């Protein structure tokens, strides 16, 4: 850490060692920054910095390898779980982590994530879901909510035109190869703490070779949603009433729990609270 | 770039209420919150997160990134809960243990 | 397949394999067995130290996948039948990024699905060997043999400025040897390598000697193994600043130039006194060989020029040949793809004729001979043979 701690002071919270001390390319307030930090914290706490081979997505987090100081391979859009499978099969002792956004995982990469989960591939999938395509300028994603405006659903998502949002983590949780599926969010510090606990659980299960784990983390996208960072966090609270945070399945604790019911298609009020996305 | 002295200077001063100095041998030489001013993007999520209202966006200055950075405006109310640091996407805030407050 | 395979060398993470005495003896004992091409190529890969195979069933190469499904677990190596060719090639990308020796196989429609990852592998400089057992196209096509993926293999396959070495065997024995060569090429130059076979080579059974080669292992300074005691490594093809990407592209082009300068391969038969030549590769070359024999019997001085590397294309040798013959006949199981590179190589010095069949059909020696006769009629006057006799 490059922040000098005065002698005698006790550190309560600081930048984790595996999070490179540089300004990220992420927008002000973007949840990727928080999730990167959580990943760096968990890997550091488990001593996995020297064992991790991570897979970077295509999307805003394509630059993840600039910020998390572990070995990385860049995957084509959507293919991270397949790339992670290849790594896992030839490097039985590596810690394998994939990091994807919602376009990467739930649109173009649907086959790869489903089959990595179905094979029970012993990897940890981090799924940052902000319900929009950030890097390409704010288009609709499979996880965009009904009524949500985007540059490719300018009048708001309509089921008849655009279909329904996809609850990926609930869908994957059905598969027996999935030992752990959970959803957290970056909405406030307690939620961030729970998200970190889910990441930690997923990592520990990988180390115990229990199978496939996915941790979805709901994130905001201030620029994509057309809001200030603070307003986007308020909006994220509404999103979290549709995609409900919590542990969806933990087969290492309970052998065959019933998966949670799929979330409803939209929050109670279809329009985003506060300011509608300007110009969308 | 990371000049700790600059960071501490950005927080005004380290204020120690008079009551505390009765209970500690010497006032602490550090601030409980160190701000990496040039990493801040002015998103203000920490401002909302601080339950004591200790943080402000400082619109009187612009950092090298072009944002109004956060300022640790009211240090004496800080309890080092670190909620601000935990919501910060950019690890701008480093939290040190604050000194103990007297019960009164 | 009843012959017992010699024990394969133990694949290790990056150092030279330790070969058991039995494997060593087996490798040098001459033992001929009847093997299907797909299976022979698969075993050649295993014996070459292949650490991982990823594939998906598609005719006419499903036997290669099935052989790997049985043999790789026997050798303690990785095998995955992926959810699609897209999954398979991306698994290969991941495994190869860690320095593993990786094989993928498919046939034409599946190869199309792999174009994206091939571009990424070329840009990220990741070594992978890909076998394409070509079938009739375009689209779903047929399951008959073809050579209609020449453009795809040689002209880039995926997007961007890149080439990959392409090796074209004309027999099962040659295919087995080229598999080992392909791994070596891929690792020496940090590039994907394509072996362009066809449905006949894949499905035919020929007597082959169980003679295998295991290329030496290289310690890679770029491979991902976990940043333990060293700075993290990144395998990627993104270079967002155009200035940086141009530098990277120049580096890639220099690599391709190096490959082109050192790795060209071709073979010639009966070319010493030829005044016509057939240019063909793979199964087309075998048909051409029979046509050459019949043409010679009929008094035509014909030879066969067989490219073995389709990229780098043996332009130099062809240009030299063009100086000595009256005409070239290109024979392909396609509507004519390599013929364009032949024309480029000879630069108009001699007429270049074409004979081909598409759709999974195979030219017969009789058809090729007829095309030769037609070329003989239309090409320029015969040159006198040294010594005067015709």
* Portion 209-228 of C in contact with A at CB < 8 A: 224-228
Q: Which residues of C touch A70 (CB under 8 A)?
A: 226-227, 232
- Residue of higher predicted confidence among C5 and C123: C123
Average pLDDT in the C251-275 region?
A: 97
| pLDDT digits 0-9 by tens, A128-174 | 999 999 999 999 999 999 999 999 999 999 999 999 999 999 999 99
Q: Which residues of B touch A23 (CB under 8 A)?
A: 38-39, 65, 90
Average pLDDT in the A209-232 region?
A: 97
Bridge partners, C268 (sequence order): C305
Q: Do A112 and C90 touch (CB under 8 A)?
A: yes
Chains that touch A (3 or more CB pairs under 8 A): B, C
Q: Do C94 and A82 touch (CB under 8 A)?
A: yes
Q: Do A15 and B95 touch (CB under 8 A)?
A: no
pLDDT band at A238 (very low <50, low <70, confident <90, very high): very high
Class at the top of the CATH hierarchy for domain B4-13+28-95: alpha beta
Would you state the CATH architecture of domain C266-378? 3-Layer(aba) Sandwich (3.40)
Predicted pLDDT of residue C11: 45
Predicted pLDDT of residue C8: 67
Chains that touch C (3 or more CB pairs under 8 A): A
Q: Which residues of C touch A25 (CB under 8 A)?
A: none
Q: Which residues of A touch B88 (CB under 8 A)?
A: 33-34
Three-state secondary structure of chain C = CCCCCCCCCCCCCCCCCCCCHHHHHHHHCCCEEEEEHHHHHHHHHHHCCCCEEEECCCCCCHHHHHHHHHHHHHCCCEEEECCCHHHHHHHHHHHHHCCCCEEEEECHHHHHHCHHHHHHHHHHCCCEEEEEEEECCCCCCCCCECCCCHHHHHCCCCCCCCCCCEECCCCHHHHHHHHHHHHHHHHHHCCEEEEEEEHHHHHCEEEEECCCCCCCCCCCCCCCCCCCCCCCCEECCCCCCHHHHHHHHHHHHHHHHHHHHHCCCEEEECCCCCCEEEECCHHHHHHHHHHHHHHHHCCCCEEEEEECEEECCCHHHHHHHHCCCCEEEEEECCCCCHHHHHHHHHCCCCCEEEEECCCCCCCCHHHHHHHHHHHHHHCCCCCCCCCCCC
Q: Do C87 and A91 touch (CB under 8 A)?
A: no
Among candidate residues C113, C122, C367, the one with its CA nearest the CA of residue C248: C122
- Compare CB distances from B91 to A5, A15, A32 and report the shortest one's residue: A15
Q: Do C232 and A69 touch (CB under 8 A)?
A: yes
- Compare CB distances from A4 to B4, B86, B89 and report the shortest one's residue: B4
d(CA A273, CA C352): 71
| pLDDT digits 0-9 by tens, C202-256 | 999 999 999 999 999 989 999 999 999 999 999 999 999 999 999 999 999 999 9
Q: Do C91 and A85 touch (CB under 8 A)?
A: yes
Q: What does the mean pLDDT of chain C come to?
A: 92
Fold of the CATH domain A31-250: Rossmann fold (3.40.50)
Q: pTM value?
A: 0.87
- Looking at 1.20.950.20, 2.40.160.20, 3.40.50.300, 3.40.50.970, the CATH number of the domain C25-216+236-262 comes to 3.40.50.970
Q: Is A30 on the interface with B (CB under 8 A)?
A: yes
| pLDDT digits 0-9 by tens, C65-91 | 999 999 999 999 999 999 999 999 999
Q: Do A84 and C94 touch (CB under 8 A)?
A: yes
Among candidate residues B103, B30, B104, B101, the one with its CA nearest the CA of residue B72: B30
Average pLDDT in the C13-36 region?
A: 57
Average pLDDT in the C113-133 region?
A: 97
Predicted pLDDT of residue A273: 42
Q: Do B95 and A12 touch (CB under 8 A)?
A: yes
Interface-testing mutation among A33, A35, A68, A230, with chain B (most B C-beta atoms within 10 A) = A33
Q: Which residues of A touch C54 (CB under 8 A)?
A: 86
User: Which of A5-14, A186-195, C54-63, C381-390 is least confident?
Assistant: C381-390
CB pairs under 8 A between A and B: 100
The residue ranges of every structural domain in chain B are 4-13+28-95
CB pairs under 8 A between A and C: 136
Q: What angle do CA C168, C254, C268 make, to 5 degrees?
A: 30
Q: Does position C383 have pLDDT exceeding 90, yes or no?
A: no
| pLDDT digits 0-9 by tens, B55-93 | 999 999 999 999 999 999 999 899 999 999 999 999 999
Predicted pLDDT of residue C6: 67
Predicted pLDDT of residue A9: 86
Minimal-distance CA residue of chain C relative to A92? C78
Predicted pLDDT of residue B8: 46
Q: Does position C355 have pLDDT exceeding 70, yes or no?
A: yes
- Distances in Å between the Cα of C254 and the Cα atoms of B100, C158, C237, C257 are 66, 19, 17, 5
Predicted pLDDT of residue A4: 84
Average pLDDT in the A40-58 region?
A: 98
Bridge partners, C128 (sequence order): C192
Average pLDDT in the C117-141 region?
A: 97
Q: Does position A75 have pLDDT exceeding 50, yes or no?
A: yes
CA atoms within 13 A on the CB side of B14: 17
d(CA A230, CA A208): 39
Minimal-distance CA residue of chain B relative to A219? B89
Predicted pLDDT of residue B98: 75
Spatial neighbors of C74 by CB under 8 A, at least 6 apart, are: none
Predicted pLDDT of residue C382: 66
**ipTM value for the complex:** 0.88
Predicted pLDDT of residue C38: 97
Predicted pLDDT of residue C337: 98
Q: Which residues of A touch C96 (CB under 8 A)?
A: 86
Q: For residue C131, what are its two tokens?
A: 């076998």
The residue ranges of every structural domain in chain C are 25-216+236-262, 266-378
Whether chains C and A touch (3+ CB pairs under 8 A) is answered by yes
Average pLDDT in the C137-151 region?
A: 95
CA distance B103 to chain A (A): 22
| pLDDT digits 0-9 by tens, B2-53 | 454 444 444 445 555 554 444 444 455 678 999 999 999 999 999 999 999 9
Predicted pLDDT of residue C32: 87
Minimal-distance CA residue of chain B relative to A222? B43
Minimal-distance CA residue of chain C relative to A51? C226
Q: Do B91 and A34 touch (CB under 8 A)?
A: no
Label the pairing between strands B70-72 and B55-57: antiparallel
Cβ proximity of A180 and A252 under 8 Å: yes
Q: Does position C117 have pLDDT exceeding 50, yes or no?
A: yes
Predicted pLDDT of residue B100: 55
Q: Does position A86 have pLDDT exceeding 60, yes or no?
A: yes
Average pLDDT in the A186-190 region?
A: 97
Q: What does the mean pLDDT of chain A come to?
A: 91
Predicted pLDDT of residue C162: 96
């Amino acid at each position: 850490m490059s922040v000098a701690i005065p002698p005698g002071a006790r550190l309560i919270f600081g930048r984790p060692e595996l999070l490179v001390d540089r300004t990220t390319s992420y927008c002000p307030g973007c949840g990727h920054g928080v999730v990167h930090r959580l990943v760096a914290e968990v890997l550091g706490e488990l001593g996995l910095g020297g064992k991790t081979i991570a897979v970077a997505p295509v999307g805003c987090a394509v630059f993840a390898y600039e910020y998390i100081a572990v070995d990385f391979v860049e995957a084509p859009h959507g293919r991270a779980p397949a790339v992670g499978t290849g790594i896992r099969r030839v490097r039985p002792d590596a810690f394998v982590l994939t990091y994807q956004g919602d376009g990467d995982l739930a649109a173009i990469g649907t086959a790869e994530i489903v089959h990595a989960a179905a094979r029970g591939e012993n990897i940890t999938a981090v799924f940052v879901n902000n319900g929009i395509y950030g890097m390409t300028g704010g288009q609709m994603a499979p996880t965009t909510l009904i009524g949500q405006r985007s540059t490719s659903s300018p009048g708001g998502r309509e089921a008849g035109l655009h279909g329904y949002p996809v609850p990926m983590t609930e869908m994957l949780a059905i598969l027996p190869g999935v030992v752990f599926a959970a959803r957290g969010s970056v909405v406030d510090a307690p939620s961030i703490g729970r998200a970190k606990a889910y990441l930690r659980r997923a990592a520990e299960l990988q180390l115990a070779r229990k199978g496939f784990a996915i941790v979805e983390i709901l994130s905001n996208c201030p620029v994509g949603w057309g809001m200030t960072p603070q307003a986007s966090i308020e909006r994220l609270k509404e999103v979290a009433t549709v995609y409900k945070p919590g542990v969806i399945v933990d087969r290492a604790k309970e052998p065959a729990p019933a998966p949670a019911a799929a979330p409803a298609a939209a929050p109670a009020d279809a329009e985003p609270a506060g300011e509608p996305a300007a110009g969308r | 770039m990371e000049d700790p002295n600059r960071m501490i200077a950005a927080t005004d001063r380290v204020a120690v209420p008079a009551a505390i100095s009765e209970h500690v041998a010497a006032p602490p030489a550090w601030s409980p919150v160190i701000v990496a001013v040039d990493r801040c993007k002015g998103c203000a999520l920490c401002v909302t997160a601080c339950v004591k209202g200790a943080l402000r966006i400082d619109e009187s200055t612009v950092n090298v990134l072009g944002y109004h950075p956060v300022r640790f405006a009211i240090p004496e109310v800080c309890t080092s809960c670190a909620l601000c640091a935990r919501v910060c996407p950019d690890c701008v805030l480093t939290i040190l243990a604050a000194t103990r407050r007297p019960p009164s | 397949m009843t012959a017992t395979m010699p024990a394969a060398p133990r694949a290790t993470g990056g150092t030279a394999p330790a070969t058991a005495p039995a494997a060593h003896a087996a490798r040098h004992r001459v033992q001929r067995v009847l093997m299907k091409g797909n299976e022979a190529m698969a075993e050649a890969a295993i014996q070459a130290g292949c650490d991982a195979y990823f594939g998906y069933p598609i005719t006419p190469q499903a036997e290669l996948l099935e052989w790997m499904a049985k043999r790789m677990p026997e050798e303690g190596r990785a095998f995955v039948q992926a959810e699609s060719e897209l999954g398979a090639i991306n698994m290969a990308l991941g495994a190869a990024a860690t320095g593993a020796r990786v094989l993928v196989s498919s046939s034409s429609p599946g190869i199309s699905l792999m174009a994206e990852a091939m571009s990424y592998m070329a840009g990220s400089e990741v070594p992978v060997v890909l076998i394409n057992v070509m079938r009739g196209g375009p689209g779903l096509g047929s399951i008959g043999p073809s050579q209609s993926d020449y453009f795809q293999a040689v002209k880039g396959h995926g997007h961007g400025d890149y080439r990959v070495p392409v090796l074209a065997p004309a027999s099962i024995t040659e295919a087995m040897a080229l598999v080992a060569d392909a791994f070596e090429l891929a690792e020496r130059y940090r590039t994907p390598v394509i072996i362009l076979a066809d449905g006949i080579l894949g499905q035919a059974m020929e007597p082959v000697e169980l003679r295998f080669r295991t290329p030496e292992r290289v310690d890679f300074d770029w491979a991902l193994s976990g940043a333990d005691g060293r700075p993290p490594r990144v395998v990627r093809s993104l270079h967002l600043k155009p200035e940086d990407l141009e530098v990277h592209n120049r580096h890639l082009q220099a690599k391709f130039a190096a490959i082109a300068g050192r790795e060209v391969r071709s073979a010639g038969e009966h070319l010493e006194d030829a005044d016509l030549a057939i240019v063909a590769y793979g199964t087309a070359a075998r048909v051409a060989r029979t046509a050459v024999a019949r043409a010679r019997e009929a008094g035509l001085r014909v030879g066969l020029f067989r490219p073995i590397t389709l990229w780098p294309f043996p332009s130099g040798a062809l240009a030299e040949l063009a100086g000595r013959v009256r005409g070239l006949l290109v024979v392909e199981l396609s509507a004519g793809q390599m013929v364009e590179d032949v024309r480029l190589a000879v630069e108009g010095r001699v007429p270049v004729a074409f004979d081909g069949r598409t759709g999974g059909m195979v030219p017969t020696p009789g058809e090729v001979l007829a095309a030769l006769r037609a070329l003989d009629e239309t090409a320029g006057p015969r040159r006198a043979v040294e010594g005067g006799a015709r």
